[in-house]
Amino acid sequence: MLNMGVLRYVLVACLIAISNHVNVASAGITRRYKFDIQLKNVTRLCKTRSILTVNGKFPGPRVIAREGDNLLIKVVNHVSTNISIHWHGIRQLRSGWADGPAYITQCPIRTGQSYVYNFTVTGQRGTLWWHAHITWVRATVYGPLIILPKLHDSYPFPKPYKQIPIIFGEWFNVDPQAVIQQALQTGGGPNASDAHTINGLPGPLYNCSAKDTYKLKVKPGKTYLLRLINAALNDQLFFGIANHTLTVVEADASYVKPFKTNVLVIGPGQTTNVLLKTKHVSPNATFFMLARTYFVGQGTIDNTTVAGILEYERKASNSPKTRPVLKPALPAINATGFVANFSNMFRSLASSKFPVDVPKTVDRKFFFTVGLGTNPCPKNQTCQGPNGTKFAASINNVSFVLPNTTSLLRSYFFGKSNRVFTTDFPSSPIFPFNYTGMPPNNTMVARGTKVVVLKYNTTVELVFQDTSILGAESHPLHLHGFNFYVVGQGFGNFDPTRDPKRFNLLDPVERNTALVPAGGWIAVRFRADNPGVWLMHCHIEIHLSWGLTMAWVVLDGDLPNQKLPPPPSDFPKC
Ligand code: C2O
């Protein structure tokens, strides 16, 4: 029997299809999910904590769709914490109300309330993910978001026998909300996590954890597609599998020219698809897959190693006790050169079916410094940041302050005079300095809620320049609402006359999150063809908390299909 709700959607889909003169058969379907935000007791490392989850699952449920599908995800908040969910990497074409970052596109979903995220997946396929986008709730509230190609669409790589999400995370023995509250209060660096996890499991290299080990059971002579997702709060990771070479085929849900590697680097927010070809005969060994932190800079970091096990199916006669355990070799914790080389390996597939659409001409150029800084310590308090200050982070020396009475998008859409933001975000540093040399004496940052306004369809070139203020660090920069093309990267200070001559406009990788090398820069380009308010930030959560973020306001275009529609009726109120 056909349910009336389904019928209504079928009818609406047909009407939309007819009105757009497209073939009904090629339009996607509507897929509904329900996310109940609830507490759940979870034990890791012999410590039981009540953690925030979606539907009691940790990691959270997989959302699977096909390119062209409409997703309706009803999020119901059953906990006392405010919630908001972001669909990381989804372009949200003219659906910015569903993007999710709290106080940027929407007010949080409060206790007992719900909100239906409504968006259509257009022109994208591959591995993405979803996560909470409010304070540090995403420590446990995250999961894969997998977009399959349209039915009958070809896949440009060897067809995998199986596809497996591998999602990295960080486990805290204490409430992560308390960790960030304490850090912001004292001004010092946050306490490090207690373990890294693969699909929620820390593995046998931690105390009291051997039973919580992720096992990937494989058959010999097959190709497996591993969908790697870094959902860790703060840690960029190296990853490898003993005695197995991986073939990278996709980054942030964009196909790349395949390349082989034994070790991957994956920053928070990034996703990477790799093909794993298993050996022809089951080897008599156990293979560890390991992940651990890449980090340069100051402060304490989780330097522990998560292990999962790659296990071949074998006959019962073969005793597991005598099997040697093999481990992959991973680079040193501070292997910045390795990381830069690895980032440089990525090239767009750039085929006729999946062409590169990098802007060849640029309407507006921006030069953004990204890095740490300080805020003054309030009177009558002692602070634990550098020289008794509070840690901060900024773009062009502006440390972003979130509004708390409305969202930027709502304020932009309805605002007349009393907007909660200003439009004077600097397009280059107000006081230029030697960004990667001796840091300036004054490390204080300015605070503000500033945006850049872009006309519809502006082509943008943006250089992210790391600074060495309080130590050079690598920053995974993430842009909401768009993918960008990474056209260049280098160490030291960006040279505006020499470096652009070497930009790659033929097959630059298309991503939503790219690593700015420690003590270096990257240049990206994108077309502002999506009206709305779009956050851009470092995906290292502590840097985001310290203000390493800003927002773009992209104005409506002239045509009806270039305008942002009004918010849905259940849009959360502050
Ligand atoms: Cu994956 Cu603004 O975040």
User: Residue 218 is encoded by which pair of tokens?
Assistant: 């494989």
**What's the DSSP call for residue 469?**
T
Residue 306 lies in a domain: yes
Q: Could you list the beta-strand ranges (E) of 231-350.
A: 236-241, 246-251, 254-261, 263-266, 271-277, 286-294, 306-312, 325-326
Distance 477 CA to ligand 1 centre (A): 9
Q: How many domains does the chain have?
A: 3
- Answer yes or no: is the C-beta of 269 below 6 A from any ligand 1 atom: yes
Distance 260 CA to ligand 1 centre (A): 28
Q: Are residues 328 and 304 in the same domain?
A: yes
- Answer yes or no: is the C-beta of 94 below 6 A from any ligand 1 atom: no
Residue 425 lies in a domain: yes
C-alpha distance from residue 212 to each of 169, 203, 430, 440 (Å): 14, 5, 51, 47
Name the residue at shortest CA distance from atom 3 of ligand 1.
88
- Answer yes or no: is the C-beta of 410 below 6 A from any ligand 1 atom: no
Around Cβ 372, how many Cβ atoms within 10 Å?
A: 30
Give the residue from 284, 312, 344 where a domain finishes. Answer: 344
**pLDDT band per the 50, 70, 90 thresholds, residue 21:** very low
Atom of ligand 1 nearest to the CA of 269: 1
pLDDT at 13 over 90: no
Q: Are residues 224 and 280 in the same domain?
A: yes
Q: Is 103 exposed, middle or buried (0-12, 13-18, 19+ CB in 10 A)?
A: buried
Residue 350 lies in a domain: no
Q: From CA 40, how far away is CA 22, in angstroms rounded?
A: 45
pLDDT value of residue 315: 67
Contact 477, 538 (CB under 8 A): yes
pLDDT value of residue 418: 81
pLDDT value of residue 435: 98
Q: From CA 321, how far away is CA 563, in angstroms rounded?
A: 64
Distance 86 CA to ligand 1 centre (A): 7
Atom of ligand 1 nearest to the CA of 535: 2
Residue 278 lies in a domain: yes
pLDDT in tens, 205-220: 999 999 999 999 999 9
Distance 112 CA to ligand 1 centre (A): 24
Name the residue at shortest CA distance from atom 1 of ligand 1.
88
Backbone angles phi, psi at 537, to 5 degrees: -160, 165
Residue 448 lies in a domain: yes
Q: Are residues 299 and 168 in the same domain?
A: yes
Q: Are residues 399 and 270 in the same domain?
A: no
**pLDDT band per the 50, 70, 90 thresholds, residue 316:** low
Atom of ligand 1 nearest to the CA of 138: 1
pLDDT in tens, 136-181: 999 999 999 999 999 999 999 999 999 999 999 999 999 999 999 9
- Answer yes or no: is the C-beta of 567 below 6 A from any ligand 1 atom: no
Q: Are residues 144 and 167 in the same domain?
A: no
C-alpha distance from residue 342 to each of 140, 256, 259, 331, 515 (Å): 28, 13, 10, 12, 10
- Answer yes or no: is the C-beta of 535 below 6 A from any ligand 1 atom: yes
Distance 285 CA to ligand 1 centre (A): 39
Give the residue from 125, 148, 171 where a domain finishes. Answer: 148
DSSP string, 155-205: -SSPPPSEEEEEEEEEE-SS-HHHHHHHHHHH-SPPPPPSEEEETTB--TT
Element (H, E) at 270: none
Q: Are residues 427 and 288 in the same domain?
A: no
Distance 401 CA to ligand 1 centre (A): 16
Cα dihedral 362, 366, 367, 372 sign: negative
Please identify which residue in the block is written with the tokens 């204080």: 444
| Terminal C-alpha separation, the chain | 41
Atom of ligand 1 nearest to the CA of 89: 1
Q: From CA 467, how far away is CA 304, in angstroms rounded?
A: 27
Residue 336 lies in a domain: yes
Q: Are residues 314 and 410 in the same domain?
A: no
- Answer yes or no: is the C-beta of 138 below 6 A from any ligand 1 atom: no
Distance 232 CA to ligand 1 centre (A): 12
Q: Could you list the beta-strand ranges (E) of 397-438.
A: 398-400
The reported pTM is 0.95
pLDDT in tens, 434-483: 999 999 999 999 999 999 999 999 999 999 999 999 999 999 999 999 99
Residue 416 lies in a domain: yes
User: Residue 393 is encoded by which pair of tokens?
Assistant: 């982070």
**pLDDT band per the 50, 70, 90 thresholds, residue 26:** low
User: What length does the chain have?
Assistant: 574
Contact 73, 116 (CB under 8 A): yes
* Rounded mean pLDDT, 408-436: 94
Distance 138 CA to ligand 1 centre (A): 10
- Answer yes or no: is the C-beta of 218 below 6 A from any ligand 1 atom: no
Distance 535 CA to ligand 1 centre (A): 8
Domain span including residue 39: 4-148
Mean pLDDT of all residues in the chain?
Answer: 94
Q: Are residues 394 and 502 in the same domain?
A: yes
Describe the strand order of the beta sheet including 475-479 as a list of residue ranges: 451-454, 549-554, 532-538, 475-479, 513-516
Q: Are residues 250 and 301 in the same domain?
A: yes
pLDDT in tens, 40-94: 999 999 999 999 999 999 999 999 999 999 999 999 999 999 999 999 999 999 9
Contact 229, 167 (CB under 8 A): yes
User: Residue 179 is encoded by which pair of tokens?
Assistant: 């960790």
pLDDT at 514 over 70: yes
Q: Shortest CA distance to 346 belongs to which of 486, 147, 219?
A: 486
Q: Are residues 255 and 369 in the same domain?
A: no
Distance 362 CA to ligand 1 centre (A): 26
Contact 370, 532 (CB under 8 A): no
pLDDT at 25 over 90: no
Residue 102 lies in a domain: yes
Distance 150 CA to ligand 1 centre (A): 26
Distance 329 CA to ligand 1 centre (A): 30
pLDDT value of residue 27: 82
- Answer yes or no: is the C-beta of 244 below 6 A from any ligand 1 atom: no
- Answer yes or no: is the C-beta of 537 below 6 A from any ligand 1 atom: yes
Q: Are residues 71 and 199 in the same domain?
A: no
Beta bridge partners of 49: 42
pLDDT value of residue 415: 86
- Answer yes or no: is the C-beta of 86 below 6 A from any ligand 1 atom: yes
Beta bridge partners of 64: 146
Atom of ligand 1 nearest to the CA of 131: 1
- Answer yes or no: is the C-beta of 527 below 6 A from any ligand 1 atom: no
User: Residue 293 is encoded by which pair of tokens?
Assistant: 């932190």
Distance 88 CA to ligand 1 centre (A): 6
- Answer yes or no: is the C-beta of 543 below 6 A from any ligand 1 atom: no
Q: Are residues 218 and 316 in the same domain?
A: yes
Q: Could you list the beta-strand ranges (E) of 337-468.
A: 364-375, 390-395, 398-400, 446-448, 451-454, 458-466
CATH code assigned at 104: 2.60.40.420
**What's the DSSP call for residue 566?**
P
- Answer yes or no: is the C-beta of 143 below 6 A from any ligand 1 atom: no
C-alpha distance from residue 30 to each of 68, 93, 99, 339, 494 (Å): 9, 17, 18, 40, 46
- Answer yes or no: is the C-beta of 292 below 6 A from any ligand 1 atom: no
Give the residue from 81, 115, 148 where a domain finishes. Answer: 148
